[in-house]
Amino acid sequence: MQLINKQKKPKNIRKLLKTATGCLLGASSLANADDTFLNGWGTDLPVIGDPEVREFLSGWETDIAILGYSEVDRVSALEPAISTSKTFDDESVVSLKFVLDTLTGASPNGASPSNEVQTFTRPSGAGSYQTTPGDTPLDDTFKDTRYSFSGSYQHDLNRMDKLVWGGNASKEFDFFSTGFSLSYLHDFNNRLNTLSIGIGGEYDIISAKDGAPIALSQMQATTEEQAKNDGSENRVLGELIVGLTHIVDRNTIAQFNYGYGQSSGYHNDPYKVTSVVDDITGESVAGESLSGTYLYDSRPDTRSKHSFYGQLKHAFGEDSADISYRYMFDDWGIDSHTFDLTYRKNFDDWYIQPSIRYYIQSAADFYRHSITESEVSSIGDYLSSDYRLAEMWSTTLGIKVGFKTPNGNHNSVRFAYYYQDGNTSPSDAIGIQKNYDMFPTLDAFIVQYTYSF
């Protein structure tokens, strides 16, 4: 009788047992919950005897995901991730996340296309690469793996107030970052509103191979010595976010955030250069040891950002729509607008969710696609040809489908297409530059699969 009853239980009881925190159905049921959880990982795990340890290990809700990102002719990345969270008896929540990011492919180095073959020295100084005439120079040195970890702990101070503590760290070949955050959330007005205040800090260490090249110095050939700054560079970031959540009505919720960020320290990209071209022809100008003249990236050592974010979510019967807007501006002269619209169509056991994002930014004050020979002596302290600081716009089209597998667990698949464009034919293009794309247009495809249990 007992056996038949068990078989007749609904299939997703496993998930319900998992989400029960220290279920009070009795010791035997607690054992069931643990076994189900541990068995979910495979029966080769040792059975843990200590009941307190078993209780701690049960009740975690986990997502495993893998993201594939691929730009046409440029960078590709594969990112597996695992994220898990547990709500404890006192309603405190611990969340942990680990992401691996493997990057390969080529990235624009900032130099402009030319009518001759261009030779560049690799960041290590030990090799070089060449660009065909007419092509956007791409540096294909980047094969990197990034490991990142983040965790948070949320707990109630009382019925209306909570604190969220966060920490993170990430490491890649030439970069290390660590940070923390602390947020205070206060519900008021009968829980129709929530006020949030958060602060965050981050410390980054940039360790370019053999040191970072001196800003605005020329890129030298492999046979010559490249003047570099000894050791590694660093920077510190501080962030403040103030937010307000507002329940408009039974079907509508809104969020407003103001964010302020201040960073200080090394902001240059040690691998990017700006081409110096002839005032009349737009052709490469001979450098000290290379056939072209390329000046290393130089950015201010401080940056101040402000952002304003608004989001609205509204339920249309069983479906819902989400619209958001962010306005950002900084003291580098960049300002940007981001629009995001997502529609969720819910069915009984699955859903489909199309989305669209539009982004536009203005150029940084010190961004130039290239400079002329006569400008070299008067450029000032800062100069960058990083396309990410250029006048640019992008569109993302996405679609996500979520469904439950027979065992009752959630799965989702997401596809997106990202298109980025800028001034490919700027008005100040000189001579041969008028024949080339002066902004490296980008097409990228994104695929993500997530499994929750």
Partner 1 sequence: MKYFMLITIIFISGCSANLEPWERDVLAREDMELNNAPLDSAFDDHIYFSKEASSGGRGFSGGGCGCN
Partner 2 sequence: MKKFNFILICLSLFISAFSVAKQAEPKWLDQVDLTQYENKVIYLDFWASWCGPCRKSFPWLNQMQEKYQDQGLVIIGINLDKDIRSANNFLKHTPAKFLVYSDPTGILGKKYKLVGMPSSYIVTSDDQIKTKHIGFKKSETAEYEANIIELLAQLPQNKE
The beta strands (E) that lie in 26-92 are given as 61-71, 76-87
Q: In DSSP terms, which residues pair with 70 in a beta bridge?
A: 76, 445
Query: Does the protein bind partner 2 through residue 317 (CB under 8 A)?
Result: no
**Interaction residues for partner 2, span 90-109 (CB under 8 A):** 90-91
d(Cα 79, Cα 414) in Å, to the nearest integer?
A: 14
Q: In DSSP terms, which residues pair with 183 in a beta bridge?
A: 164, 198
Strands 371-372 and 273-277: parallel
Task: List the x/- string, 342-361, binding to partner 1 by CB under 8 A.
Answer: --x-x----x-------x-x
Evaluate the CA torsion angle 36, 37, 43, 48 in order and state its sign.
negative
Residue closer to partner 2, measured from CB, 24 or 236: 24
Nearest Cα residue to 239 out of 264, 259, 267? 259
d(Cα 273, Cα 112) in Å, to the nearest integer?
A: 9
In sequence order, what are the residues at sequence separation of 6 or more whose Cβ sits closer than 8 angstroms to the Cβ of residue 9?
A: none
Residue closer to partner 1, measured from CB, 63 or 140: 63
Q: Is 439 helix (H, G, I), strand (E, B) or coil?
A: coil
d(Cα 433, Cα 452) in Å, to the nearest integer?
A: 51
d(Cα 334, Cα 352) in Å, to the nearest integer?
A: 35
Nearest Cα residue to 86 out of 125, 59, 57, 50? 59
Query: Does the protein bind partner 1 through residue 106 (CB under 8 A)?
Result: no
In the complex, the smallest distance separating the C-beta of residue 16 from partner 2, rounded to whole angstroms, is 6
Query: Does the protein bind partner 2 through residue 5 (CB under 8 A)?
Result: yes
Number of neighbours of residue 446 by Cβ within 10 angstroms: 17
d(Cα 55, Cα 44) in Å, to the nearest integer?
A: 19
Residue closer to partner 1, measured from CB, 271 or 277: 271
Q: Is 37 helix (H, G, I), strand (E, B) or coil?
A: helix
Query: Does the protein bind partner 2 through residue 10 (CB under 8 A)?
Result: yes
In the complex, the smallest distance separating the C-beta of residue 404 from partner 2, rounded to whole angstroms, is 15
Size of the site for partner 1 (CB under 8 A): 90
Task: List the x/- string, 181-220, binding to partner 2 by CB under 8 A.
Answer: ---------xx-----------------------------
The structure tokens listed for 191 are 């829980």
Q: H-helix or E-strand containing 33?
A: helix 27-40
Query: Does the protein bind partner 1 through residue 250 (CB under 8 A)?
Result: yes
Query: Does the protein bind partner 2 through residue 52 (CB under 8 A)?
Result: no
Residue closer to partner 1, measured from CB, 278 or 330: 330
Residue 88 near which of partner 2, partner 1, none (CB within 5-8 Å, type-dependent): partner 2
In the complex, the smallest distance separating the C-beta of residue 92 from partner 2, rounded to whole angstroms, is 9
Q: In DSSP terms, which residues pair with 6 in a beta bridge?
A: none
Query: Does the protein bind partner 2 through residue 349 (CB under 8 A)?
Result: no
Long-range Cβ pairs for the range 184-187 (8 Å, 24+): 185/161, 186/160, 186/161, 187/160, 187/161
Residue 8 near which of partner 2, partner 1, none (CB within 5-8 Å, type-dependent): partner 2
In the complex, the smallest distance separating the C-beta of residue 161 from partner 2, rounded to whole angstroms, is 13
Query: Does the protein bind partner 2 through residue 153 (CB under 8 A)?
Result: no
In the complex, the smallest distance separating the C-beta of residue 8 from partner 2, rounded to whole angstroms, is 6
Query: Does the protein bind partner 1 through residue 193 (CB under 8 A)?
Result: yes
Q: In this structure, are residues 268 and 261 in contact, taking their beta carbons and an 8 Å threshold? A: no
- Pick the binder of partner 2 from 49, 159, 225, 230 (CB under 8 A): 159
- Pick the binder of partner 1 from 213, 259, 292, 422 (CB under 8 A): 259
**Interaction residues for partner 1, span 362-421 (CB under 8 A):** 364, 388-389, 392, 394, 400, 412, 414, 418, 420
Residue 23 near which of partner 1, partner 2, none (CB within 5-8 Å, type-dependent): partner 2
Residue closer to partner 1, measured from CB, 155 or 246: 246
d(Cα 358, Cα 326) in Å, to the nearest integer?
A: 11
Query: Does the protein bind partner 2 through residue 16 (CB under 8 A)?
Result: yes
Contacts with partner 2 by CB under 8 A lie at 1, 4-5, 8, 10, 12-13, 16, 20-25, 88-91, 159, 190-191
